[in-house]
Amino acid sequence: MAFLKPKIPLECTSFMKLKYHIKTYGCQMNYSDTERVMTVLEKMGYEPVNHYEKADLVILNTCMVKKSSESRIYGLGEPFKKLKEQNPRLKIGITGCMIHKDTGLRGESKEKVFQRMESVDFVFRIKDLMHLPDMLHKMHHMDGADEVSEMKSYFHINPKITNLTQVFIPIMSGCNNFCSYCIVPYSRGRNESRDIAEIMDEVEKMAKRGATEVNFVGQNVNTYDPTDADTGSSDSPFTQLLRKVDAVPGIRRIRFYTVHPQDMGDDVIALYGGLKSMVPHLHLPIQSGSNSCLKRMNRHYSVERFKELINKLRARIPTISISTDIITGFCGETEEEFMGSLNLIKDCKIDLVYVSKYSQRDGTLAARSMKDDVPYEVKKERFEQVTEAMKEVSEEYLKQFVGQTVEVLVEKVEKGYASGKIPEFKLCRFKADNPKLVGQYVNVKVDKAMEWCLEGEPV
């Protein structure tokens, strides 16, 4: 549910054009959710602005994966207090992973948020987005968006598309896995999947408007479980969805985040090199290269299983790019366990690692039952070792493209360069200053591989 702080003064503002600003933290799922929040606000008559200071409504779409994100959000308490003195109309709302269902589970309850950040006026779980218009009506007397309030789930709210070429579409929300360090099952609740028909409708509409790259987002896309999948098929529902999207005219690239090594099926692997739009890149989060550490993390697979998946993927596409997540210094992580992670990066040639130093999240199993006992300096040192190992693999991986022609989907043009991703999710740039290149596919002959980026000439 959504919660308003008691005694919010009512203001008669229906005659004014009020301005909103949303700050998004964390993963692509949050960015995709923000696009839905924008739709609701703009249906109600709010106008977007690019900074808090110009806004009458600020919404923070939060992430709890890293302690630093949480601290940054609480750090905004004082500045917001001052802004409110200058603009009495200003209301502050929080959504995202910081907000839990008030179930009695430990964690960042609404009371705690209100207590630690006095300037916050309301909080809502993203899945209760349909109730946001009612709350805003009480605070700002804004009307409109009746159709939003009547919708049965936030998935039914069309996103405001900020990037017409590359679209992010949530296919599910929540997670049933309860990894011991993770807050998501408490903040987003259990798995909830959108029907295939509804997703296809969104994809087709986007493709007609110019989308060519579809990014599916969900906490564990391999457990996608809609009500309208073909139960007689040997393909999993996720594979059924991927096949349908591949057939949509105009769609050239499909990416998805995130898969889980425990649930990744052979039917999905078989699509690599099979479906024309499956990109040769997979993000497969391992978190630790040690089976004993994985056990404490409540991740139900082994390092051997992870390696087997990679071998199967490379048997289909030898040059596939594999990225992963690693946490350094998880509760009780020994030097030997850490070496498992470090060696895994080198042995499996993981060319991109999203590495984070473990920090305890209130409300998780690890916070309740394990000691955060690896000193910060050790976590940091291990973090740096992982980064170094990844750099070496990445540089080696990028070198293979020198002399080859790659297809770049241009994302930005600035400082004399156009840049964007190749199908393998690597950045490539070339000299250009025409902003109209954004959203275009350009073939580039690579003449240089730098640390994190390729460079070449259009051909």
Single-letter amino acid, residue 359: S
For 393-434, the DSSP string reads HHHHHHHTTTTSEEEEEEEEEETTEEEEE-TTS-EEEEE---
* Short-list 123, 141, 125, 130, CA closest to 40: 130
293 binding ligand SF4? (CB under 6 A): no
Residue 403 tokens read as: 């002399």
Q: Which stretch binds ligand SF4 (CB under 6 A): 176-184, 195-203, 237-245, 314-322?
A: 176-184
Q: Is 161 in the site for ligand SF4 (CB under 6 A)?
A: no
Site for ligand SF4 in 251-280 (CB under 6 A): 260
> Binding to ligand SF4 (CB under 6 A): which residues in 334-393?
none
Q: Which stretch, 171-179, 270-278, 329-337, 372-380, contacts ligand SF4 (CB under 6 A)? A: 171-179
Closest CB 323 distance from ligand SF4, rounded Å: 15
Q: Kindly tell me which of 167 and 179 has the beta carbon lying closer to ligand SF4.
A: 179
Interface size with ligand SF4, residues (CB under 6 A): 10
Q: How far is CA 327 from CA 293, 338, 371, in A?
A: 10, 9, 15
- Binding of ligand SF4 at residue 175 (CB under 6 A)? yes
Q: Which are the contacts of 159, defined by CB distance < 8 A and separation ≥ 6?
A: 32, 35, 36, 38, 39, 168
Part in contact with ligand SF4 (CB under 6 A); list of ranges 37-45, 137-145, 182-190, 305-313: 182-190
Which residue among 119, 220, 356, 359 contacts ligand SF4 (CB under 6 A)? 220
Give yes or no for residue 178 binding ligand SF4 (CB under 6 A): yes
Q: Does 180 contact ligand SF4 by CB under 6 A?
A: no
Q: Does 452 bind ligand SF4 (CB under 6 A)?
A: no
Nearest to 359 by CA among 127, 135, 183, 112: 183
Among 29, 182, 271, 282, binds ligand SF4 (CB under 6 A): 182
Report helix, strand or coil for 283. strand
- Interaction of residue 30 with ligand SF4, rule CB under 6 A: no
Task: Determine contact, residues 63/24, Cβ cutoff 8 Å.
Answer: no
Close Cβ partners of 28 (under 8 Å, ≥ 6 residues apart): 168, 215, 217, 257
Q: How far apart are CA 166 and CA 153, in angstroms?
A: 24
Please state the closest distance from residue 212 (CB atom) to ligand SF4, in A. Answer: 28
Binding site for ligand SF4 (CB under 6 A): 175, 177-179, 182, 184-185, 219-220, 260
